[in-house]
Homo-oligomer: A and B are copies of this chain.
Amino acid sequence: MTQEEDSTVAEDKKLVQAITSMDVDFVQWYTDVVKKAELVEYSSIKGCMIIRPNGYAIWEMIQKELDRRFKETGVENVYMPLFIPESLLQKEKDHVEGFAPEVAWVTQGGLDPLQERLCVRPTSETLFCDLYSRIVQSYRDLPKCYNQWCSVVRWEKTTRPFLRSMEFLWQEGHTVHATAEEAEARTEQMLNVYADFCEEVLAIPMIKGRKTDREKFAGAEATYTIEALMHDGKALQSGTSHNFGDGFAKAFGIQYTDKDNKLVYAHQTSWGMSTRIIGAIIMVHGDDSGLVLPPRIAPVQVMVVPIAQHKEGVLEKANELYNTLKAAGYRAKIDDVDKQPGWKFAEQEIRGIPTRIEIGPKDIEAGQVVVVRRDTREKIVVKIDEVADKLSEILETMQSDMLERARKHRDAHTSVATNYEEFKDAVENKPGFIKAMWCGDEACELKIKEDTTATSRCMPFEQEKISDVCVCCGKPAKKLVYWGKAY
């Protein structure tokens, strides 16, 4: 350790100590990370968060990746109004019952009270249906696969940054099809887009499955979901895709003339992913030093940190390296502010930047640098001339290691229960998913929730038969269900 590094250990420690250990208090750890990494700031409106540059840059990366994948499947972007007239919201019975209790109402515009209240969109099914009822006339107009990136509002009492807030950012896709089969295919396709994105880019393995009727979207025929396991063993619903059948089409009169000149109802889907997924990135990969961002989603992939930067030639060489990395296409930054390396290391670690490159006088003399991985803290000595080549390997290895580690953690925190005692013991003592059989009766779902606070996460597409009977009532089982406590 150089003198410079040595002198900064105290300062370094202080920064790191500001984050509560995740084993001591996971909830506080999460809040600390979100705040210290400067992802969000609280606002004057209770329950609404400000997404700061470090947080928003992650969302921009997510948008870019998802948007590209959407467009590859033929999706087009649109923008729908922020407001929904009360009468329009009420057109689909289940839908309004699901959302009305948690919407914000505009009752005055300018100086005048409104004749009809407008709700601030909690989701935009009703607006898309209204549009489709006007622009879909013939089978030639189908399918329409629209998406929008926007914010939505849900009046939540208890809020937490990214996980649950009164306003959040998301995308909502809404499609309309000629047949039930096409709608079903699109519902599955978009769930797969989400799952692949999470695995390939966010290094988060997902369980894909179907929600029970109790947990499905208000107005949907079927809701498919991807469920992830957080570090503390709680589940997080990370994206959903809904098949509406022709329910909304009937409520909104979305009809078209088919090839035989018959007037028939269209079939619809909707699907969404929100800033909530940033919470998943934090809680799956983070550690006691802060965020750990998977290289493919990190807004900054590598931070060049000059050591003893006042010494002749160091800053020059560090900048040269930084420029080489940028030219090679890395999302690189250089931290050349007048602070001690230890402070810079802690800063880079809190922010979860996947790698840092330490470059000091001795390194330069030896024609090498030290690449440090954020996830393992492994130090890799690389020749200066080879950094631009080697770094992509290091980042790709880190990416796949992170996915592997998350998968192992999830598998190690997935237990099996074949009777109610085992089930209750698992909820109590083994944080994580619990796989158990279910009779299909909502009463059992409710009882489990009341007894244990665990909820049905999904009926996985990959069904296994681990017992013949329902884990709760003992009657013949219909489905394997993933259960868990959830965010």
Q: Which residues of A contact B (CB under 8 A)?
A: 41, 43-45, 48-53, 56-57, 59-60, 76-85, 88, 101-111, 117-118, 120, 127, 130-131, 134-135, 146, 150-151, 153, 155, 166-167, 169
In the complex, the answer to whether B43 meets A82 with C-beta atoms within 8 Å is: no
Given contacts A108-B105, A111-B101, contact A83 B45 (CB under 8 A): yes
Given contacts A81-B45, A88-B44, contact A105 B107 (CB under 8 A): yes
In the complex, the answer to whether B45 meets A135 with C-beta atoms within 8 Å is: no
In the complex, the answer to whether B77 meets A57 with C-beta atoms within 8 Å is: yes
B residues within 8 A CB of A127? 43-44, 50
- Nearest Cβ in chain B — how far from A345, in angstroms? 19
B residues within 8 A CB of A118? 45, 104
B residues within 8 A CB of A41? 131, 134-135
In the complex, the answer to whether B151 meets A83 with C-beta atoms within 8 Å is: no
- Nearest Cβ in chain B — how far from A44, in angstroms? 5
- Nearest Cβ in chain B — how far from A336, in angstroms? 14
Closest residue on chain B to residue A120 by CB atoms: B106
Given contacts A106-B104, A110-B102, contact A52 B81 (CB under 8 A): no
B residues within 8 A CB of A60? 77
How far apart sit A151 and B52, CA to CA, in the bound complex (Å)? 18
Closest residue on chain B to residue A76 by CB atoms: B53
The contact of A82 among B80, B120, B130, B155, by CB within 8 Å, is: B120
- Nearest Cβ in chain B — how far from A28, in angstroms? 21
How far apart sit A77 and B76, CA to CA, in the bound complex (Å)? 24
Closest residue on chain B to residue A87 by CB atoms: B44
The contact of A131 among B50, B101, B135, B150, by CB within 8 Å, is: B50
How far apart sit A64 and B44, CA to CA, in the bound complex (Å)? 31
B residues within 8 A CB of A109? 104-105, 155, 166
In the complex, the answer to whether A51 meets B79 with C-beta atoms within 8 Å is: yes
How far apart sit A167 and B106, CA to CA, in the bound complex (Å)? 14
How far apart sit A214 and B67, CA to CA, in the bound complex (Å)? 43
Closest 7 CB pairs of A and B: A53-B76, A48-B81, A110-B155, A51-B79, A105-B108, A109-B155, A107-B107
In the complex, the answer to whether B111 meets A104 with C-beta atoms within 8 Å is: no
Closest residue on chain B to residue A80 by CB atoms: B50
Closest residue on chain B to residue A59 by CB atoms: B79
- Nearest Cβ in chain B — how far from A4, in angstroms? 21
